[in-house]
Amino acid sequence: MLGRLNHVAIAVPDLQAAAAVYRDTLGARVSAAQALPEHGVTVVFIDTGNTKIELLEPLGEASPITAFLEKNPSGGMHHVCYEVDDILAARDRLQASGARVLGDGNPRIGAHGKPVLFLHPKDFLGTLVELEQA
């Protein structure tokens, strides 16, 4: 079921400053910022060759990462994203095993234009897991 690591997401209080660290200090290629109002975040992606780093900052007052940044004002790792071949089959298998899918359980379109789901961190060793259809 589990495919390759698609990205590691880091929540940041200032997206432009964080992107500059990766671009100017590490020499990374940084994508243009992309607002995702349906997810309450603005993101950029850093291409590392074999995977990506996603930097995300809150978009709007109801952003799901606002509480994370209140607890971690400097930012930090927010989630990991794995690819799956069939997101609905993965969801059904996970739910049958007792894993909790966040939200209403239905995939939403993510930053890459593909269906995504999030899994409760308490079911995955304290780590928020995103699944993205490959």
Active site residues: 130
Residue type, 52: K
Phi and psi dihedrals of 111, rounded to 5?
-65, -25
DSSP-derived 3-state class of residue 103: coil
In terms of Cβ atoms closer than 10 Å to its own Cβ (0-12, 13-18, 19+), residue 13 is middle
**CA dist list (Å): 29 to 11, 39, 62, 125, 132:** 18, 24, 30, 31, 22
